[in-house]
């Protein structure tokens, strides 16, 4: 028995040693993969292939490696708009690129400002005498906008192209709250501060409807003008005016109807499209990873960007990006965590290194506390005598406008959504709901604030009054901050505030914005303020080093793109519907979650945020209770 026991211990020891050895080898390989500088792939003379199988964003979010390994979230690819623009502009000047191909088969879209800028970059490629071809199984609004700039827009015979225009429906929860007797305590300032209306009304107020229609009309007019400029013969109004009659004229064939409307040039399947590209680019002479790699000579986006690193010549103009909802803490990138962005600004504050700072904003706002934290960090750059210029992207509203106020010059684009100067807070309690189930509350306290706020017993008049006073105080501070930045009195700001949103052009008219222009215009102006003169300069983005492990895991798990699959018209509609459902739950969770006073723009949420809705929301205690009462899991 002793001999058998010793043999068993020896076998266990060998097993443990082998397991340890394999673990060491595994982590050694992971470390080597993370530490090695990836060698850029070889650029092949032929086509630049941009497979946009996801969504275009201002700033890519960082994937959670654990969630990726567990198969949760992160399945929608993100492409930074500036990366695509740079790739296109490089292709226009590089003799190795004969044609640019945009594969939009699984394109989920992006905000108008980003797509407009990408469209202008496509125009530069065409001006250089190089064709740009697009292919999709089904084009929706965003895909149609990009395809309008192409020299040849292809669609599968079973697909089509259609435009719906901006707008849609919002969900209102008052009826749900009334049904379960949930008490939504709403505190706000501003006639137009409509972000709280879904929780206190069953429909839009007349003021909110007017405000929203004003902004959407501006966006729609900008979109139509873009299409008309790129394709003068396109019959967009005919399509959107009576879509059923338009479709019937082509016998119900959406592909033929799209071609008849001038939005599509050629109808053919993927094989026919690739044969057409091969006629221009030539046949590939090298092997490409992936079974679905086309046979024509091409270079992918990642390889192309790696082979053309950004040149950091001349003076540095710092760029800090405030993208997504502004929240307290270290969230992001892709979400504007106040602590994270303030830390980036403070760690890079160097008057000798940066000639100026450009604050790039693409945010609907959020936490007042986080917005003020970011604003103060920007002010520290101004105190160091570094010029500050603001560039507004698709939106810089509410808290997004709050952080713009330190700018010495504020740039926006005509379709930018800005303003929404107003604040609110929402706290829910369940005292009436629980009473129906026989649950009551009673207790003792030492002051009117003891045990408050109470989720189960409700709020006392003292707490109720304090919350409203706090919101009013924050609104007064908002007016003061804007007034000092824009040279206006608080009363003058209040006249254009009250939570009202403004398109960029109108914001310039009422003094909230200084000049129309994009990020490039803002950078040029910042270089001028920084007294660069005729010398060279470059944009230096203030970013944290990416997590190499997350990037490694993302590379291992890439390819699972079920949520980005839309092979025909019905498939595209179903994909958007699925993502919309996730976004609706996220909005409800935003109400019942733990948040302080907010400066957030409801109108900015009309455009689907595919990045956020693709992720399963974390349910707070309030939404969990409400869903259980409703019988939902």
Interior/surface letters 242-255, b for 16+ CB within 10 angstroms, e for the rest: eeeebbeebeebbb
Torsion of CA 457, 458, 463, 466, to 10 degrees: 160
Alpha helices (H) along 384-529? 399-402, 431-436, 461-486, 490-496, 504-509, 519-529
- Concerning whether 193 is annotated as a catalytic residue, the answer is yes
Separation between Cα atoms, residue 323 and residue 465, nearest integer Å: 34
* 621-629 helix and 569-592 helix, angle to the nearest 10 degrees: 110
Q: Helices 368-383 and 338-347 meet at what angle, rounded to 10?
A: 10
Return all residues near 629 (Cβ < 8 A) that are at least 6 apart. 180, 433
Do the beta carbons of residue 328 and residue 369 sit within 8 Å? yes
- Annotated catalytic residue within 105, 363, 398, 613: 398
Identified catalytic residue from 63, 75, 105, 193: 193
Report the distance separating Cα 356 and Cα 525, nearest Å. 10
- Burial pattern 132-146, b for ≥16 Cβ within 10 A else e, equals bbbbbbbbbbbbbbb
Residue 250 a catalytic site member: no
Provide the greatest CA pair distance for the chain: 94
Cα-based angle 499, 505, 510 (whole degrees, multiple of 5) = 55
For helices 112-127 and 81-93, give the axis angle rounded to 10 degrees: 10
3-state DSSP assignment of residue 325 = coil
Nearest to 477 by CA among 530, 537, 405, 548: 405
Asked whether the beta carbons of 283 and 297 are under 8 A apart, the reply is yes
From the list 164, 293, 49, 273, the residue with the least C-alpha distance to 572 is 164
**By C-alpha distance, which of 245, 248, 224 is closest to 236?**
224
Q: Which of these, 140, 134, 75, lies nearest to 568 by C-alpha position?
A: 140
* Residue 76 three-state SS: coil
Catalytic residues: 193, 398
């Amino acid at each position: 028995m002793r001999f058998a026991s010793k043999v068993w211990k020896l076998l266990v020891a060998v097993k443990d040693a082998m397991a340890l050895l394999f673990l060491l080898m595994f982590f050694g390989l992971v470390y080597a993969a993370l530490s090695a500088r990836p060698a850029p792939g070889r650029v092949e003379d032929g086509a630049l292939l941009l497979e946009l199988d996801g969504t275009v964003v201002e700033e890519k979010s960082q994937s959670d490696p654990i969630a990726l390994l567990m198969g949760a979230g992160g399945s929608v690819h993100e492409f930074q708009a500036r990366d695509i623009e740079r790739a296109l502009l490089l292709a226009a000047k590089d003799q190795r690129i004969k044609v640019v191909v945009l594969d939009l088969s699984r394109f989920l879209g992006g905000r108008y400002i980003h797509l407009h800028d990408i469209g202008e970059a496509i125009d530069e490629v065409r001006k250089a005498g190089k064709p740009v071809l697009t292919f999709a199984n089904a084009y929706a609004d965003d895909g149609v906008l990009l395809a309008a700039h192409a020299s040849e827009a292809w669609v599968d015979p079973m697909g089509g192209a259609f435009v719906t225009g901006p707008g849609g429906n919002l969900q209102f929860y008052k009826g749900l709250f009334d049904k379960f007797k949930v008490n939504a305590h709403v505190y706000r300032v501003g006639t137009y501060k409509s972000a709280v209306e879904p929780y206190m009304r069953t429909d839009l107020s007349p003021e909110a409807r007017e405000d929203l229609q004003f902004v959407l009309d501006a966006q729609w007019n900008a979109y139509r003008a873009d299409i008309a400029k790129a394709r003068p013969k396109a019959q967009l109004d005919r399509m959107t005016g009576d879509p059923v009659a338009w479709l019937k004229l082509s016998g119900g064939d959406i592909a033929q109807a799209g071609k008849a409307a001038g939005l599509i040039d050629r109808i053919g399947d993927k094989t026919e499209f690739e044969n057409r590209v091969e006629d221009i680019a030539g046949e590939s002479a090298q092997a490409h990873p992936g079974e679905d790699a086309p046979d024509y000579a091409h270079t992918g986006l990642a390889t192309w960007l790696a082979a053309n690193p950004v040149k950091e010549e001349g003076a540095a103009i710092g760029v800090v990006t405030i993208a997504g909802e502004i929240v307290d803490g270290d969230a992001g990138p892709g979400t504007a965590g106040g602590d994270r962005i303030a830390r980036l600004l403070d760690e890079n504050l160097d008057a000798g290194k940066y000639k100026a700072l450009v604050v790039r904003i693409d945010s609907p706002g959020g936490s007042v506390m986080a917005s003020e934290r970011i604003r103060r960090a920007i002010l520290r750059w101004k105190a160091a005598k570094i010029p500050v210029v603001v560039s507004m992207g698709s939106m810089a509203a509410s808290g997004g406008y709050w952080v713009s106020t330190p700018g010495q010059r504020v740039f926006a684009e005509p379709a930018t959504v800005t303003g929404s100067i107003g604040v609110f807070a929402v706290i829910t309690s369940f005292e009436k709901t629980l009473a129906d189930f026989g649950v009551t509350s009673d207790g003792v306290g030492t002051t009117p604030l003891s045990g408050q706020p109470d989720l189960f017993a409700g709020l006392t008049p003292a707490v109720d009054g304090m919350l409203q006073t706090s919101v009013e105080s924050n609104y007064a501070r908002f007016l003061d901050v804007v007034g000092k930045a824009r040279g206006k009195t608080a009363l003058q700001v209040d006249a254009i505030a009250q939570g009202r949103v403004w398109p960029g052009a109108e914001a310039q008219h009422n003094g909230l914005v200084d000049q129309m222009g994009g990020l490039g215009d803002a950078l040029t102006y910042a270089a001028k303020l920084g007294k660069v003169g005729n010398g060279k300069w470059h944009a230096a983005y203030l970013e944290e080093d990416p997590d190499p492990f997350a990037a490694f895991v993302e590379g291992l798990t890439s390819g699972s793109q079920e949520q980005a699959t839309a092979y025909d018209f019905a498939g595209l509609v179903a994909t958007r519907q699925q993502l919309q459902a996730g976004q609706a739950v996220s909005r409800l969770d935003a109400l019942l979650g733990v948040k302080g006073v907010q400066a957030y723009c409801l109108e900015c949420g009309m455009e689907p945020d595919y990045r956020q809705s693709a992720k399963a929301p974390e349910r707070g205690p309030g939404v969990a209770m409400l869903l259980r009462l409703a019988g939902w899991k």
